[in-house]
Structure 1
């Protein structure tokens, strides 16, 4: 018993003498390792991912349509063949979906010049082409607004001095960048009329300073990505034929 008490006493003394050590960070060191051919790949990892890599490459290289010429978003002052095509695709692919859900037609489409991220080169149009044109996950939405907002959109386009893609619109501006004519599906804009504008979620939320979508009467989220609309259009189209037209022009 005395021996046990002695052991306990010694243990308590030893525990009392132990101090909690505090670790303090004194410095951080790093080294930049450039990625180059000098770094040899791990063959086991390379062999593991090869089937997936080959499948992705094969899928992206699958041909969807054909382009008889090359098209760039900068090939026009206020409307371009490529921009017109992108806006027309959104209208053509989205309108049936929207009408089936709302019993209304889309009145017009407005997108942004910067949203088109790559040209279409002459020759085969592949799935990779669609991903290059639209690498982001932007979704198509339809906004229900009054004619007052539509007029604000026309003024925005006139002052932007860029070929923002539009469809189902006719906009004419003068040398002072003032609107001289604005038509939606061939008809003048009525301030109190309700219009359904198709765009993408980035622009709806104020991207590129497009604030004219708010306030609005309602928002329809189609759960349809802009890229998917492009892919679906290419899939059903043998040869594309985009053109520059008079949907947005300036007169001197």
Structure 2
């Protein structure tokens, strides 16, 4: 018991410092940011942040502009209630060390992304994509508001887990992975800090009709 007390006394100052850091306010929201439904508030917001960070990185590294982003709902491990957004909330939402990658596709190979959603009907968040599926068939497939153009290349932002086939996203295997060496959690912290008042996107991106 004495040894435990001594250890706790040594740890206490560091724990206090860490708690203070984790309680730092980095933003605010007047809406609950959740994972519910095919177009969740938190999911779509983080997909947009992934897209924005990838575009910024691409611009600095002489890579053509990023066209869209795909993340997985399973990597979002918590939600954020309305009110102050603290640093600890982002660590709870994204406890993994996933990194941002950009996958370069030839136009003829990008169809696999849409086929994945048609088959799984899974609510994995997307940005700058519109996918509508009715009775298992794709009725709308848009990238940045436009139909697929097989004559051009596409650059899709995602995380390293998905790029390697995680969540059965094997279609990424047809692309070329470009590493950014940026952790998604760091990106999300940076993006939240850029927006003192977070308003989640409301546009419908995924539609699944049985």
Pairs within 5 Å for 1:173-252: 173-174=133-134, 176-216=135-175, 218-251=176-209
Selected match of 1:114 from 74, 84, 108: 74
2:60 is the counterpart of 1:100: yes
Whether the 8 Å CA contact 1:80–1:243 is kept in 2: the answer is no
Report how far residue 159 of structure 1 moved: 1.9
Over 3 Å counting, the alpha-carbon distance change for 1:114 and 1:42 in structure 2 is: same
Are the counterparts in 2 of residues 112 and 165 from structure 1 also a CA contact under 8 Å? Answer: yes
- Larger relative strand fraction: 2
Question: What residue in structure 1 maps to residue 25 of structure 2?
Answer: 63
Decide which of 95, 103, 109 is 1:143's aligned counterpart: 103
CA deviations over 1:117-164 (Å, ceiling 9, x no partner): 101111110110100110000000001112233211111012222211
Distance in 2 between the 1:153 and 1:106 partners?
15
Does the 8 A contact of 1:109 with 1:197 survive in 2?
A: yes
Deviations 1:196-231 (Å, cap 9, x if unpaired)? 011000011110010111132x32111111101110
In 1, the alpha carbon distance for the partners of 2:27 and 2:8 equals 33
Give the Cα separation in 1 of the matches to 2:121 and 2:3.
49
Quote the offset at 1:110 in angstroms.
0.6
Moved >6 Å (runs of 4+) = none
Q: Provide TM-score, normalisation by structure 1.
A: 0.79
The 5 Å alignment of 1:152-163 reads: 152-163=112-123
Aligned partners of 2:141 and 2:148 also within 8 Å: yes
TM-score after normalising by structure 2:
0.94
3-state secondary structure, aligned to 1:144: strand
Q: Secondary structure at the match of 1:220?
A: strand
How many positions carry a matched residue from both structures?
210
- CA drift at 1:112: 0.8
CA drift of 1:40 comes to 7.5
Superposed CA RMSD in Å reads 1.6
1:154, 1:179 within 8 Å by CA — same for their partners in 2?
A: yes
